[in-house]
Structures are given as C-alpha cells and as structure tokens.
Chain A
C-alpha cells in the first residue's frame, strides 16, 4: 500500500487554500494535478535544453531530440506498443480522434457504417458526424442500460460487414463505466472493422496493453495522468498508420518537397507536422515514470477504496441519487440531490474549497438518457483521502440544507 500522506507532498497544489479552505480536489477526471517531479522536468527543459528538435546539428537540438524520443520510447514501453513509431505525439485525445477520423475520410464510402457508444464524450461524437457528412457513411450508436453499461447484445446486432470503424471510450467520463473493450475489439475484428479506443479516462487508473488488446488505435492525454496539458498520444498499428493519409501538412512530416510533389516522411513524423510540444512530450514521459513509481496496483487499490467509501457515505444522504452504477467502474461518482440543480450544489461546494465538476460533462446524450440537466461529478485520484470525502459529504449536506 502507498502512504497517501507522503504522496500528497509531491503535489504542491494540494496544500493551497481555496476560498480560505484547504483545497479538496475532486475534479481529477477533468485534469489531474502535477507532481513536483514533473514540474521539475518542465523547468529543467526550459532552463537547460530548449531547442527545436529533429533538425539542428547543434548540441542543444540533439539533446532536446534525444529527450523527446526517449519519452516516445517510455510511452511505447508503457502501453506495450510493438514499435516506437506507432506512438504519435498529439495535442491530446481530441486531436488523436480527429487525426483518425480525418484519415478514414478517404477510406470510407457511402453506406459504410461507423459505430460509437451511447457513453461518448462530445469530442467522440462530433468528428464522426463530420466524417459521415463528408463520406455518406452512417453513424450507429451502441445503446446503454440504466446502470450506464453498454448493451452488448445490441452491439452484436448492429455489427455487420458494412461496419468499418468502431469507436468506444475505455472508461466513460461522465459515469466512470469501464467498457468491455476486449469483447468489442474481438467482435469488431470478426467483421474486419477497425477499432479506436479513447483512453483519456482509463489511463489514469490502469495500463492498457495495446498488443494484448489487439486494438487498432488508442488515444489519450498526458494531463489526465499527472502530465501537462496540450500533449497526448495516438497509438496506431503500423499497418493502419501507413494506410492513413497525413492529417496536417507542414515541416517535420515531409521527406522531400518540390513544387511538383512531396514525399511524406516515415512514421511517426508523417503525422507530426510542425514544431511539436517538445517540453510537453518530454514531461509526458516523466509523468508516466511518476505514475509507475507510485505503481498502478497501488493506484487502483487506493482509488477503489475511495470509490467504495465515497459511494457508501454519499448514499447515506437522503435524496441523493448516483448515476452510473456499472459493476466495473473507476473512481467517479456522478450524483444529484433530489429537486436541486447540480450547478447550485457545485457553487456551494466551491465556496467550501471543494472542486467538483457540474454540468453535462460534455456528454449531453447521457444526460438526455437520464432526463437530467447534468450531474455533480466527484472523481477521485490516488492522492485523495477519506478525510477529503468526509469534507465532500459534509459540504453536500450543507448545500442541501441551504438550497432546500
């Protein structure tokens, strides 16, 4: 087991006050906090290595390139990709999704089908709607049940030889449901459809093995796993990345340019046009190192304990309803107080120094399913404590008292 008090010392922000109260940070599903170890890497980069990469002959450029590529190796090792060039640095999950969606626009034809799940975030819906508009492909939605679990029999029924791409999040951002992606990938492959998994909400809690999953594409963001914002990765199987056309034109992604023709660079540079977020890429690797030093077994153990404790404590409050009660879920509790708007509760909690997310969590279709305007979402990370959950419970009780 980890000593949470020791871990908390790694995160300078956790000792600050908000509205005069000690910060209770329960918005980890939106972004995680940054440990000093990662902050140090960012500072060290700008203090000692800042240079453009992949093109300079000078020492700084070489050192910066080495750090950046070493980070790619770390990411490759962490997710167990076969090759480092299957890891494409992106600006984040949304960028990765758009890159794949754009790539498929030249591979799809009218009547082809793309399947997404009812649990998707807006960023997972809009690019596919745009893709369908461009290509004449049809968007199909895997429905969910009241617990917030995908109905697999419906998924099976929707699959056909016309299905070209299946797109599901590994973990739902609004409800925390862990989706059975192993099953989805296997079934999709039976009809020769490609599968893209959004790992933005899973990678903070578990380590996906992309080869064991046999997944075609997997995307995530660094800032969900203690890294900086503005950087993420797209894993793609080599064969798929070779098949997809480049997403953006620019420097870095070309091999040779004349006015008649441009030859594209090899992977991964084909998809990395322009000067990337070099510092972010390096810090992404440092964040993975940090998470591994804490240990994902320890992370999962602490978060499961918090989830269980938080669920039990919150349900003791009369009139409180939890949305998303899947058997397999991460440390996310989405809830409402009967007859009270989530925005009001979030506002009172903020006054008490407690950071939660309120609203539809960019997942309006899920809110429509439950016929609610939104929820209050408390999402726990490994550095949170039961004492903080107690503070949340007291805060919710106070909000209820003030608002009823």
Chain B
C-alpha cells in the first residue's frame, strides 16, 4: 500500500472515534502493542532526546525498502510512533522523502507533532527522512 493510502486508512479509522478519550485510548493501546526495537539498537547513537520523552529509531533496508523500528519511554509518544511507522516503514526511500505528515492534523493529534512539544517526535520524523535520504543515495 502506498503511503497516501495508509494515511487515508488511518484517517478513516480515527473518524470513528467520538471524542478525545477514545482517540487517546486507541493510541495508548497502539503504543502498548508497538513491536519494540531490538535492544541492541536501543543505543545512545539511535536516541532522539526530547525534553519530555525519549525516542529511539533504527532503520534497515531490504529489497529497496526501508524498515523502521522504534521505541519511546512515554506510551502516548509510542502510540504516535506506531502510527508513523505504519505509514513510513517498508516504503521506498523516495516515497518516504516526499511524504508529508499532514494526516496527523486530520486525526486530531496535531499538538504532538508541534516543534515546541519537545517530545522527540518532530526530530523523529526528520530522522526517518534522513535515513530515507541516506538509503536513496545508496540506490542511485
């Protein structure tokens, strides 16, 4: 599925929720289910430090697609990571580079991707794209 299709699918899922509580409970559950990053990659060099919560990201490429695994010490942050990984993981680097994150606004979670939130997520998106750029360079 393309990044755009996945984003639309997520928007559809979130449109079923009636209030913030249902939205957040869903994210919290996603966070709990997030396949953890392999401990060997939970290193200082993979850490993105936010003032509020920490995020770890690891990337690998196979069959011209980038696979991401990630983790956070805060569960709501982890829920958003789960959504971002669903969107960006196992995609071609070029598609990752060109994708935007506007869908986050549409599912009512805009504040979590605010640069002033200091939860590491904005830097995480940047980091995902950096990995994609790096792998794209390898491909071309």
Which residues of A does B touch, CB under 8 Å?
19, 340-341, 343-344, 346-348, 351, 358-360, 373-374, 402-403
**A-facing residues in B8-32 (Cβ within 8 Å):** 20-21, 24-25, 28
Question: Does B114 touch A at the CB level, under 8 Å?
Answer: no
The distance from the CB of B91 to the nearest CB of chain A, in whole angstroms, is 28
**B residues in contact with A373, CB < 8 Å:** 53-54, 73
Q: Are B25 and A358 in contact (CB under 8 A)?
A: no
**B residues in contact with A360, CB < 8 Å:** 51
Query: 0/1 per residue, B37-77, Cβ < 8 Å to A?
Result: 00000000000000111100000000000000000011111
Q: Are B28 and A402 in contact (CB under 8 A)?
A: yes
Q: Are A359 and B51 in contact (CB under 8 A)?
A: yes
The distance from the CB of A100 to the nearest CB of chain B, in whole angstroms, is 27
Identify the closest chain B residue to A373 (Cβ).
B73
**A residues in contact with B54, CB < 8 Å:** 373
The distance from the CB of A186 to the nearest CB of chain B, in whole angstroms, is 37
The distance from the CB of A356 to the nearest CB of chain B, in whole angstroms, is 12
- Report, nearest first, the 5 A-B pairs whose CB atoms are least far apart: A341-B74, A343-B74, A343-B52, A343-B53, A344-B76
- Which among A340, A343, A373 has the highest number of chain B CB atoms within 10 Å? A343
The distance from the CB of B27 to the nearest CB of chain A, in whole angstroms, is 10
Q: Interface size for chain B: under 10, 10 to 19, 20 to 34, or 35 or more residues? A: 10 to 19
The distance from the CB of A65 to the nearest CB of chain B, in whole angstroms, is 38
Identify the closest chain B residue to A351 (Cβ).
B20
In the bound complex, how far is the Cα of B75 from the Cα of A344, in angstroms?
7
In the bound complex, how far is the Cα of B24 from the Cα of A348, in angstroms?
8
Question: Does B119 touch A at the CB level, under 8 Å?
Answer: yes
Assess A351 versus B24: contact at CB under 8 Å? Given A343-B119, A344-B75, A373-B73: yes
Assess A403 versus B75: contact at CB under 8 Å? Given A358-B52, A359-B52: yes
In the bound complex, how far is the Cα of B119 from the Cα of A359, in angstroms?
10
In the bound complex, how far is the Cα of B21 from the Cα of A19, in angstroms?
12
In the bound complex, how far is the Cα of B51 from the Cα of A200, in angstroms?
22
13 contacts between A and B (CB under 8 A): A340-B75, A341-B53, A341-B73, A341-B74, A343-B53, A343-B77, A343-B119, A344-B75, A347-B24, A351-B20, A351-B21, A402-B21, A403-B75
- 8 further A-B contacts with Cβ under 8 Å, apart from A358-B52, A374-B52, are A19-B20, A343-B52, A344-B77, A346-B52, A348-B24, A359-B51, A402-B21, A403-B28
**B residues in contact with A19, CB < 8 Å:** 20
In the bound complex, how far is the Cα of B51 from the Cα of A344, in angstroms?
13
Q: Are A343 and B24 in contact (CB under 8 A)?
A: no
**B residues in contact with A344, CB < 8 Å:** 28, 74-77
